[in-house]
Chains A and B, each alone.
Chain A
Amino acid sequence: MLEVEVSGLKFENPLILASGVLGMSASSMISAVKFGAGGVVTKSIGVRAREGHPMPCVVELPFGLINAMGLPNPGCEEFKEEIKKFKENCDAPIIASIFGGDPSEVREVARTLRDADGFEINVSCPHSDVTKKLEDDEEMIGDIVREVKKAVDSPVWVKLSPNVSSIVEIGLAAQEAGADAVVAINTLRAMIIDVETGVPILGNRIGGLSGSCIKPVAVRCIYELYETLEIPIIGVGGVTSWKDAVEMMLAGASAIEIGTAVMKDVRIFEKIKAGLKEYLTKKNLKIEELVGRAHRV
C-alpha cells in the first residue's frame, strides 16, 4: 500500500533516511531499515577522508537543530566497503550522497561508489567550504550532474539548497543537465551565540538549521518546484509526524527523507508508516494520488 517508485527505484515505503544522520556505517543504515525506513541515503562522501569541523558540531533547540558537522567522512575508497556490506544484508535501496569541489571530483566519488542504487549530489551543505559556493551556481551544478550521469547508470538526484534566491532556477538547471530527481531541501544557514560569554557556540560558527521549524520552508520549496519541474521531487526538512509527510506529498513530494527526527526516536519510520496507511484508508486514496494534490486548488 505504501510502495513508491521514484526515478526508477522501488521503495517499500516512501520514508527514506536523510543524509548526514547516522549513515556513517552499514550497520547504522541497516538498523534504520529494520526500524522501518524504505531506503537510506548515506553520509555525504568525498574523494578523501575528512574529520569535519571542530566541536561543538550541534546545538539542540526546542524547535530544531543547528549543526556544523563539516562533511566528516572516511573517503569514497573506504566507504565502498560499507555500501557493499549494506547490500549484502539489506534489500532496500541505498543512495550514496556524494560531494566534491568540482565536476571531476564528484564523478570520481560516484564511479568509486557505483555499487550504490542511486546518487544524491550534495551541492547544498550550507557550512562547508566545498559545497557552499556551489549552491547558487547553476552552471557548475549542471556540469557536475552531466559528469556524474556520464559516469554511472543508476539514477542521479540533486539535493537543493533553500539558501538561494530561486530554488526553482537551480532545480531547472539540474533537470536540464539530466538529473533524475531533485531533493528539497538542505538545511537553512543559521547561527547561535552564547549570551553569557558572547561566543558563537558552533566550532564553525555558522551551521545549518534543521528540524520541525524548517518544515514550512520545505513545503513551500517543494510546492514551487512541483509547479515547474517535470522530474520527481523528494521532500526533506522537518518531518516529524505522518501529517508532515502527507503535507509534503500534497505539496509535490514523491518520497520523504527523515533526518533530525531520527535523533529523538529511531522508531519514527514505523510510526509515520502507520499514520500514512490510516490516512490513505480514511481518504480512500492511493499513495501516488497524494503527490501534488494541493496543486488542484
Chain B
Amino acid sequence: MLPRMVEIKEIIEEGRDAKTFILDAPWLKGATPGQFLMVWIPEIGERPMSLSSSTSITVKRVGRVTSRLHDMKEGDFIGIRGPYGRGFEISDGKSLLIAGGMGSAPLAFLSERVNKFTALIGARTKDDLVLLRKFSKGELLIATEDGSEGRKGFVTDLIDEIEMKVYDAIYACGPDGMLREILDRAKELNILHKLQISVERYFKCGIGVCGSCVLDPSGVRVCKEGPIFRGEEVFDSEIGRYRRDASGRRVKYGNSKRI
C-alpha cells in the first residue's frame, strides 16, 4: 500500500518529550493492539511506530523524524501505511501487562481490550511515564529508576511484588534487557506459553522483504511474523544479547560495541 496522507486531529502532551498524535484515519479501527504503522513525513523520512490506540501513536522525540513530528500542529498531515504485523492475541482471563519506557504505547492500546489486568509500568523518571491514565482501570504498579514515582528501580523489580504465574496471559514491551529478564523468569516458572512480547528491531521496509529485522537463529521477520511473539518462539533468540544495526552489523545489547 502507498502512504496515505492523514490529518493530525489532536495532540496530547505526555510528560517530557513524548506526545500522542490522534489521527483522522477511521480505517484503522480494525487494527489489533501490537500492530504498527510506517509513518512518513514528506522530505524528512519514515519510521515504524506502534499504535497506542486504534487511531493514535505515542512518540518520544529522539531523532530527526520524531523531532519533526513533535514540531507539527493539529491540522497538519502525515503519511501512514499499515497497520502492519501480527498483533497481540487477546486473553479473556486475568492479564499482566509489563511496560518499560515507551513500551507503554502498545500496552495502552491492549489495555482497552483486556478485562482484568495488572499493569507494571517502569520508566527512567516520573516525567518519562506515559499514558498512565490508560492503565488506571486495572491494578497499577509503578517503578522509576530515580525513585521519583513508585518503587525505585526497574520495572522488572515489580515482578517480585506480584505472583506471575496466577495470570492467564502476560504481555510485555520494552527494551531488550527487560524482555530477556521476563523471558528467563517465565521459563523458570514454565509459563513461556502464556507470555507475548513486542520486539523492536531495525525496520527498513516494514513488509517483510528487506530482511533487516530478522531474528537469529530462527530467521523470523519481526515486521511480518512479529512484532508480537510468543515466549517459546523467541526464548532462544538473540533478544537481550545483540541486534543488527541499519547496515546489518551485529551490535551487542547494552552498549554500542560491535560483536
Tell me how far the C-beta of A253 lies from the nearest C-beta in chain B, rounded to whole angstroms: 22
The one of B43, B208, B224 in contact with A199, judged by C-beta atoms closer than 8 angstroms, is B43
**Is B247 a contact partner of A25 (Cβ separation < 8 A)?**
no
**Is B215 a contact partner of A27 (Cβ separation < 8 A)?**
yes
**Is B205 a contact partner of A51 (Cβ separation < 8 A)?**
no
Known: A51-B247, A196-B5, A263-B207. A72 touches B219 (CB 8 A): no
The one of B77, B207, B210, B218 in contact with A27, judged by C-beta atoms closer than 8 angstroms, is B218
Number of A interface residues in the complex (CB < 8 A):
47
- Residues on the A chain within 8 Å of B211, using CB: 21-25, 28, 43
Tell me how far the C-beta of B199 lies from the nearest C-beta in chain A, rounded to whole angstroms: 14
Check if A216 is an interface residue, CB within 8 A of chain B: no
Known: A27-B219, A28-B214. A49 touches B209 (CB 8 A): no
Check if B117 is an interface residue, CB within 8 A of chain A: no
- Residues on the B chain within 8 Å of A203, using CB: 45-46
- Residues on the B chain within 8 Å of A264, using CB: 208
- Residues on the B chain within 8 Å of A194, using CB: 2-3, 5, 42, 79
Check if A78 is an interface residue, CB within 8 A of chain B: yes
Known: A21-B209, A27-B214, A27-B215. A55 touches B46 (CB 8 A): yes
**Is A72 a contact partner of B247 (Cβ separation < 8 A)?**
yes
**Is A78 a contact partner of B217 (Cβ separation < 8 A)?**
no
The one of A43, A58, A60, A197 in contact with B42, judged by C-beta atoms closer than 8 angstroms, is A197
- The CA of A201 and the CA of B46, in the complex, are separated in Å by 10
**Is B249 a contact partner of A78 (Cβ separation < 8 A)?**
yes
**Is B248 a contact partner of A24 (Cβ separation < 8 A)?**
yes
- Residues on the A chain within 8 Å of B205, using CB: 57-58, 67, 69
Check if B230 is an interface residue, CB within 8 A of chain A: no
**Is A201 a contact partner of B204 (Cβ separation < 8 A)?**
no
Check if B212 is an interface residue, CB within 8 A of chain A: yes
Number of B interface residues in the complex (CB < 8 A):
40
**Is A52 a contact partner of B42 (Cβ separation < 8 A)?**
no
C-beta contact mask, A57-81 vs B, less than 8 Å → 1, else 0?
Answer: 1111100010101001111001100
Check if B1 is an interface residue, CB within 8 A of chain A: yes
Beta-carbon contacts under 8 Å, B1-17 to A: 1-3, 5
- Residues on the B chain within 8 Å of A73, using CB: 247-248
How many interface contacts (CB-CB < 8 Å) are there between A and B? 135
Beta-carbon contacts under 8 Å, B219-234 to A: 219-221, 224
Check if B244 is an interface residue, CB within 8 A of chain A: yes
**Is B47 a contact partner of A75 (Cβ separation < 8 A)?**
no
**Is A25 a contact partner of B214 (Cβ separation < 8 A)?**
yes
- Residues on the B chain within 8 Å of A30, using CB: 219
- The CA of A60 and the CA of B206, in the complex, are separated in Å by 11
Check if A166 is an interface residue, CB within 8 A of chain B: no
- Residues on the A chain within 8 Å of B210, using CB: 20-22, 24, 57-58, 67, 69, 72
Beta-carbon contacts under 8 Å, B232-252 to A: 244-250
**Is A72 a contact partner of B3 (Cβ separation < 8 A)?**
no
Check if B171 is an interface residue, CB within 8 A of chain A: no
**Is B45 a contact partner of A25 (Cβ separation < 8 A)?**
no
**Is B214 a contact partner of A54 (Cβ separation < 8 A)?**
no
Check if B216 is an interface residue, CB within 8 A of chain A: yes
By beta carbon, the residue of chain B nearest A198 is: B42
Centre residue among B42, B81, B247 by max chain A CB count within 10 A: B247
By beta carbon, the residue of chain A nearest B237 is: A27
- Residues on the A chain within 8 Å of B220, using CB: 31
**Is B204 a contact partner of A74 (Cβ separation < 8 A)?**
no
Centre residue among A20, A75, A197 by max chain B CB count within 10 A: A197
- Residues on the B chain within 8 Å of A69, using CB: 204-205, 210
Known: A59-B2, A260-B209, A263-B207. A43 touches B248 (CB 8 A): yes
- Residues on the A chain within 8 Å of B244, using CB: 24-25, 74
Beta-carbon contacts under 8 Å, A8-40 to B: 20-32
Instruction: List 29 A-B pairs, Cβ < 8 Å.
Output: A21-B209, A22-B210, A22-B211, A25-B211, A25-B216, A27-B214, A27-B215, A27-B219, A28-B219, A29-B219, A50-B247, A51-B245, A52-B247, A57-B46, A57-B210, A58-B204, A65-B209, A72-B248, A74-B247, A78-B248, A78-B249, A78-B250, A79-B248, A194-B2, A194-B42, A201-B2, A201-B3, A263-B207, A263-B209
Q: Beyond the given A24-B214, A55-B46, could you list 10 further A-B residue pairs with CB under 8 A, ordered by the A residue number?
A: A24-B248, A27-B217, A28-B211, A29-B219, A50-B247, A52-B204, A55-B45, A60-B81, A74-B244, A259-B209
- Chain A contacts to B: CB under 8 angstroms: 20-32, 43, 49-52, 54-61, 65, 67, 69, 72-75, 78-79, 192, 194, 196-197, 199, 201, 203, 259-260, 262-264
Nearest 6 CB-CB pairings of A with B: A31-B219, A22-B211, A27-B219, A263-B209, A24-B211, A55-B46
- Chain B contacts to A: CB under 8 angstroms: 1-3, 5, 38, 40, 42-43, 45-47, 77, 79, 81, 204-212, 214-221, 224, 244-250, 258
